[in-house]
């Protein structure tokens, strides 16, 4: 393909494909894109995907294919007043970063799209389920784009190097592609940077030292924010310290708020480890305090320690599952009356009503246990907590098991335990 370079525009802009056939990536959409480009008439659509995957390029190619006058604008730079003027006389609007418009601003498009006087080709890096109103989303066809794969990035790198007459080895091109994080625009910026280096700096070992430190994008409000956190927690739950550390680094290097990471670790210590290792929760809380004290970037040290500890700890979700079982009971049937003998008789009238009557003070009995019922009468004997046989939980539950035997010895065995959610 012959590359025509114009002026001093960024390489990414100069290499923007002129047709769907020249476009690299999004193999899963190639057939649909070709069909839409050939059809001449487009539906309004939303292109959703990570930075540098080709959203705006696809929108431009499709707009050109219609043969209709189109305008390209950026939501952060264009208020509604300016937008009304800018779209006059145009049939197609390419709007970058639709998610930057508020919900009220997005309502501006509803009557326009309903009447068909304008075709909207919008782009967003954020999950449209959360960033676009339901009313507007119902009027848009959503195309989900993916980050470019290594072979696709390598092809982009070769085009960029050829356009700049830059002699780079296959290994150097692969290094640049791997550093771009699936972002073609970032990759071409790296190619431009490399083109200014002396030849001896273009070998992989020197390139890795010379190139500017890349800032990994972390979409705090979008999918990657929650996907990385979810992957870290699932890796901890699955006892894989290497994977847990990897996702921790992905979050921290992208600029994730370490307080968010601490909160996830604290929850994991309670939900996934629980009584199998009761020291996990204090460690997670101490980690939060340590991170607050030392700050970043050194805060990664206690965070890494805690992450590995949680991944290696024995696992039990018994308390988590027990609460879910109780929650289901209360939500279904509502709170039942507290047994009278457990109520506090704070007044004479309450004493007359029987509050506190018959309560047995456990410390006044052998072994500190009194044979009495604590649950409401309608669910007497029910068990919600079901111990796991992992880590320290069996030891912690030795006394509980003895209590259950003493309860069973009075001639009324407890009901089978309610089954809660399992890991």
Q: What ranges do the domains of the chain cover?
A: 26-144, 150-210, 223-312, 334-408
Q: What is the DSSP string of 291-303?
A: HHHH-TTTTHHHH
Q: What is the per-residue pLDDT for 334?
A: 87
Question: CA-CA distance, 6 to 123, in Å (whole number)?
Answer: 26
CATH of domain 334-408: 1.10.3710.10
Q: What is the per-residue pLDDT for 30?
A: 85
Domain 150-210 in CATH 2.60.120? The answer is no
CATH of domain 26-144: 3.40.50.300
Count Cα atoms within 13 angstroms, Cβ side, for 221: 11
Q: What is the per-residue pLDDT for 418?
A: 52
Q: What is the pTM of this model?
A: 0.58
Q: What is the per-residue pLDDT for 397?
A: 83
Query: Mean pLDDT of residues grouped by 10 in the chain (423 residues)?
Result: 55 88 88 83 90 92 91 89 89 92 90 90 88 92 91 92 90 88 88 88 83 54 70 93 92 83 95 93 95 88 95 93 91 88 86 87 86 87 86 86 80 46 39
223-312: CATH topology: Zinc Finger, Delta Prime; domain 3 (1.20.272)
- Cα angle for residues 271, 276, 277 (degrees, 5° grid): 90
């Amino acid at each position: 393909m012959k590359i025509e370079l114009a002026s001093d525009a960024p390489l990414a802009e100069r290499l923007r494909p002129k047709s769907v056939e020249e476009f690299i990536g999004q193999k899963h959409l190639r057939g649909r894109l070709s069909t839409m480009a050939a059809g001449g008439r487009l539906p309004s659509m939303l292109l959703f995907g990570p930075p540098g995957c080709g959203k705006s390029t696809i929108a431009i190619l499709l707009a050109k294919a219609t043969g209709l006058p189109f305008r390209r604008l950026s939501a952060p730079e264009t208020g509604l007043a300016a937008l009304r003027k800018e779209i006059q006389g145009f049939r197609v609007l390419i709007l970058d970063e639709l998610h930057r418009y508020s919900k009220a601003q997005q309502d501006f498009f509803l009557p326009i799209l309903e009447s068909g006087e304008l075709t909207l080709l919008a782009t967003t890096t954020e999950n449209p389920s959360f960033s676009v109103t339901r009313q507007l989303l119902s009027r848009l066809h959503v195309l989900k784009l993916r980050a470019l794969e290594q072979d696709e990035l390598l092809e982009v790198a070769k085009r960029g190097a050829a356009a700049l007459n830059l002699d780079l080895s296959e290994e150097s091109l692969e290094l640049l592609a791997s550093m771009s994080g699936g972002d073609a625009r970032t990759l071409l910026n790296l190619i431009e940077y490399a083109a200014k280096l002396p030849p001896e700096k273009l070998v992989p070992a020197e390139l890795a030292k010379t190139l500017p430190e890349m800032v990994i994008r972390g979409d705090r409000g979008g999918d990657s924010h929650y996907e990385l956190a979810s992957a870290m927690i699932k890796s901890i739950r699955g006892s894989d310290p290497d994977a847990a550390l990897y996702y921790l680094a992905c979050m921290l290097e992208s600029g994730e708020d370490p307080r968010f990471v601490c909160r996830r670790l604290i929850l994991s210590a309670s939900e996934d480890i629980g009584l199998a290792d009761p020291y996990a929760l204090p460690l997670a809380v101490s980690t939060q305090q340590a991170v607050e004290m030392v700050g970043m970037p050194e805060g990664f040290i206690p965070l890494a320690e805690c992450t590995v500890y949680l991944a290696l700890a024995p696992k039990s979700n018994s308390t988590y599952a027990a609460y879910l079982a109780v929650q289901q009971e209360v939500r279904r049937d509502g709170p039942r009356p507290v047994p009278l003998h457990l109520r506090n008789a704070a007044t004479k009238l309450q004493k007359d009503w029987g509050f506190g009557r018959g309560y047995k003070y456990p410390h006044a009995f052998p072994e500190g246990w009194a044979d009495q019922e604590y649950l409401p009468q309608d669910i007497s004997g029910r068990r919600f907590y079901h111990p796991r046989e992992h880590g320290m939980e069996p030891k912690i539950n030795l006394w509980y098991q003895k209590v259950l035997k003493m309860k069973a010895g009075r001639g009324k065995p407890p009901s089978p335990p309610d089954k809660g959610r399992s890991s």
